[in-house]
Chains A and B, each alone.
Chain A
């Protein structure tokens, strides 16, 4: 689960990570009163779940009350298009108003789980404010990494090694090691899958602060992170994806015209791939779960039929233990109940598959049964051509 910057900062501050003073604002008036409370100048920052806000005009420095109001007015309600939002952009509904700080240096630090070692890893770089992937590609020598033993936690010597590597000295060194240690504790305590501070700031006064903060929390751990779970902002998710998640369906909207309904994530990705290879384009990723229950199939149909782009539905269920006749019965019932009029191509495999095919063919509904994945993809293309 992703968080807004202001939420991430508040959580990090709870672990002792220093952040600039700031207040969230949902209106121009709230922004103005936040600024007068914090003292001018302030920075007015759009709060959306995407990076690249500065370049898109979503971050403005304001030196006077009028400038605060003008900035808030311009950003609130605007649709920001950044390289992370896609061409449709993201509507700004809230702002973070933050005290202006005098910047001496900008650096980069993040914690992730290194999948290769299965351990937390800190990545740091003196090149702050830049895209870390670019830094890694162009100047890998500027990237420092430390792998943390989860049983020990971040050790003082590891924090020192990073601080030396970043060129910290004197009081900045002390503040820097404290910052890194606190950040690891937050990463660990929040069940985060990523904590990224870009930039990490050294102020002219020698303080080390998180000027920006991106925190993603492991969805599987939300059951024990109720404070984090409560911060979910469904405006940042697509409505169909929100609806799907209510039914525990794994759904991601794409821009093609073939609605895919598959059991299992790997097979669902493979089905998208074969649709593309056949010359069509998938409208979505949709995993109904390994068991493909009748209820989940009905829910899945509801989601697919509310996407206006979908012109053909491809169902690919590798049942195995699952009885295909039962699956067919569920499919027919769902299509009748919801009045689905889209052509449906079905490939299924499992016990009683012949009986299931007969049931589908005799139902009088628009089902095409396919033999294997390639045949399914070809049938889909044929149905698309007929529909065109």
Chain B
């Protein structure tokens, strides 16, 4: 098994006729994801990337049995696309869109009923279960099938970690980018719960960054619930306080959210915390061979 996406994934791409939408829908399909539909309001009845386009997500679900959504629309429309996916009852909806207003995310999260659609992102690379399915913008070929779960707030830094693992012959079960915004649909703890319960995941790399308290919450969960090895790196050890480091959520405020605090929390929860981003793969190799 893998988590979030896999062989059972039936993908609908919201915004499939746009330049980005078409490009990434095709890349996901070429990787092996079962792309079944697209949605663009007003373009129902057309065909794009070899699949039927529907006016609404609900129609796409009814006709094609889609269960995972991939949102590729501009920031002002992202929350609405998420909400439509929630309303249609998809299992998971992913968005890579950067620059979604925080207030929109606050409202969308309020619309998800308990046990309802899982929202991933926004402003994240998406999710991939190597060899099975990719719902995101990550380069598929750097991944390798295997048993290490990767979860991260960053995009390219996740690729870096995956690359280090694959170079050492260590494959991945599922790699999840949760996104760098202040309010996101899926948190570290949510993904760790999935990894903890997944028989196919033997160990986890957790890549955090400055800002907020999600890494501390993750550390708390790891201390209480995880018996799988966790290797962690926190980006932003050299970041000045009070400045937003690219990601809207990456900011140290009033002494809260520092890299040092997060590293200490994770260390005390039993994680191997590396100071250098070049050591993520080697540290995982050491933990797996221990």
Contacts and interface: CB of A to CB of B under 8 A. Distances in A.
Interface of A: 84, 113, 115-116, 118-120, 132-133, 149-151, 188, 191, 193, 218-221, 223-224, 250, 252, 254, 262-277, 282, 285, 287, 290, 318-321, 349-350, 372-374, 377
Nearest to A115: B212
Contacts of B213: 115-116
B155 interface: yes
Contact of B180 (A193, A266, A320): A266
Given A269-B239, A270-B233, A318-B159, A115 B183 contact: yes
Given A273-B237, A318-B156, A349-B163, A374 B278 contact: yes
Interface in B231-275: 233, 235-240, 242-243, 245-250, 254-256, 275
A257 to B, nearest CB: 14
A223 B74 CA distance: 12
Interface in B149-199: 152-160, 163, 180, 182-184
Contacts of B100: 220
Contact of B235 (A118, A269, A318): A269
B207 interface: yes
B245 A267 contact: no
Given A220-B75, A274-B277, A266 B101 contact: no
Contact of B247 (A224, A265, A271, A274): A265
Contacts of A218: 101-103, 248
Given A221-B101, A270-B160, A272-B239, 17 more contacts: A113-B182, A116-B212, A193-B102, A220-B100, A223-B76, A224-B101, A263-B156, A266-B180, A266-B207, A268-B246, A270-B157, A270-B235, A285-B245, A285-B246, A290-B156, A373-B278, A374-B276
Interface of B: 27, 75-76, 99-103, 105-107, 109-110, 137-139, 142, 152-160, 163, 180, 182-184, 207, 209-210, 212-214, 217, 233, 235-240, 242-243, 245-250, 254-256, 275-278
B275 A118 contact: no
A40 to B, nearest CB: 37
A116 B248 CA distance: 15
B103 A266 contact: no
A268 B154 CA distance: 10
A64 to B, nearest CB: 38
A264 B156 contact: yes
B138 A151 contact: no
B22 to A, nearest CB: 15
A271 B106 CA distance: 32
A250 B183 CA distance: 20
A319 B101 CA distance: 28
A151 B159 contact: no
Contacts of B249: 115
A133 B241 CA distance: 14
22 contacts: A113-B182, A116-B212, A116-B214, A118-B183, A150-B107, A191-B101, A218-B103, A220-B75, A220-B99, A220-B102, A223-B75, A252-B245, A254-B238, A266-B156, A267-B160, A269-B235, A282-B238, A285-B245, A290-B155, A318-B160, A320-B156, A349-B160
